[in-house]
Amino acid sequence: MNDRVSITVENHIADVRLTRADKMNALDPAMFEGIIAAGAELAAMQGVRAVVLSGEGRSFCAGLDMASMAGGGASASGGIKSLTDRTHGNANTFQQVAMLWRKLPMPVIAAVHGVCFGGGLQIASGADIRVIAPDARMAVMEMKWGLIPDMGGYALWRGLAREDVLRELTYTNREFSGADALQLGFATYVDENPHARAMGIAREIANRNPDAMREAKALFNEYADMDEDGILMAESVRQNRVIRTPNQIEAVMSQMQKRAANFTG
């Protein structure tokens, strides 16, 4: 990683923070590199059961730092010749900074405050759960600059908001608040202290069977593109991987004995 992102792990929870507070965590080349490196590190952490993603300072992420990206060059272009180059599986470098949170095997909770524009909104949308401050400022901002959202937003917004709502927000780049985000479909919860609420959710997740949690997330990632037969089979396949394993047995025993579970991994 670099000085754009920090990771602190405690009690199986990774507290991940964007650390370019003086620029409201706007996305410059170093921030793209730092986020992608953080994602790779998190993916390799076997003991992490939940991730909380937030931004330091006054904002979550103000979106693209247009000044830093305007200079061009390999760094500003993410090291790709064309946006159609797939540098990270099915994504290019810019899409990966949002998609990696969805791709991580453990649940991710985004804690959003302050400004969350453009690429910042797409990054937050990559989380499984979003806790947003009521006075947060949010927008699908790209049309302001004559662009379209292209950091994974179209893939990540499926199922979050109604399509006509997404179209209107995209076409107009209208700003909306964290309180509005709940009604529009972008927020799971609205809370005055989103980071504290997100950590509370993460603790709940970390106290569940981590094997089942990862299979559940994988199934959520798959089922939108499956027909009914495929979903039913995927449920059965993933349940077979979990049932009667040591952690699943421990989940049952801890409930029966009214004690905290002692999971491995």
Task: For the chain, list the strands marked E by DSSP.
Answer: 5-10, 13-18, 50-55, 108-112, 115-117, 129-132, 137-139, 176-177, 189-190
Regarding whether 83 and 162 lie in a shared domain, the answer is: yes
CATH number at 56 reads 3.90.226.10
User: Would you give per-residue pLDDT tens digits along the chain (265 residues)?
Assistant: 679 999 999 999 999 999 999 999 999 999 999 999 999 999 999 899 999 999 999 999 999 998 877 765 555 666 678 999 999 999 999 999 999 999 999 999 999 999 999 999 999 999 999 999 999 999 999 999 999 999 999 999 998 999 999 999 999 999 999 999 999 999 999 999 999 999 999 999 999 999 999 999 999 999 989 999 999 999 999 999 999 999 999 999 999 999 999 999 8
How many structural domains compose the chain? Answer: 2
Q: Is 264 inside a domain boundary?
A: no
Tens digit of pLDDT for each residue in 50-62? 999 999 999 999 9
Alpha-carbon separation of residue 31 from 19, 116, 196, 246 (angstroms): 9, 15, 24, 40
Where does a domain end: 167, 188, 205? 205
Distance CA 5, CA 93 (A): 17
Specify whether 110 is located in the same domain as 240.
Answer: no
Asked if residues 173 and 144 have their Cβ atoms less than 8 Å apart, the reply is: yes
**Same-domain status, 112 and 46:** yes
Same domain as 64, residue 44 = yes
Domain match, 156 and 227 both: no
Domain contains 164: yes
> What does the block give as tokens for 16?
């991940």
Residues 79 and 126 in one domain: yes
Residue after which a domain boundary falls, among 169, 188, 205: 205
Last residue of a domain, one of 205, 222, 240: 205
Domain membership of residue 142 (yes or no) is yes
Q: Is residue 226 part of a domain?
A: yes
Range of the domain at 234: 210-257
Same domain, residue pair 227 and 104:
no
Q: Which of 60, 197, 155 is nearest to 115 (CA)?
A: 60
What radius of gyration, in Å, describes the C-alpha atoms of the chain?
Answer: 19
Q: Are residues 111 and 136 in the same domain?
A: yes
Cβ partners under 8 Å of residue 49, min gap 6: 12, 13, 106, 205, 206, 208, 210, 213
The answer to whether position 262 is within a domain reads no
Q: Are residues 183 and 86 in the same domain?
A: yes
Residue 170 lies in a domain: yes
- Would you say residue 265 lies in a domain? no
In a shared domain, residues 93 and 149:
yes
Q: In whole angstroms, what is the distance from residue 53 CA to residue 59 CA?
A: 12
CATH of the domain at 239: 1.10.12.10
Entry pTM = 0.94
Closest C-alpha among 125, 4, 105, 87 to residue 51:
105
Q: Is residue 105 part of a domain?
A: yes
Structure tokens that stand for 180 in this block: 């509005």
The answer to whether residues 12 and 127 belong to one domain is yes
Residues 109 and 214 in one domain: no
pLDDT in tens, 100-159: 999 999 999 999 999 999 999 999 999 999 999 999 999 999 999 999 999 999 999 998
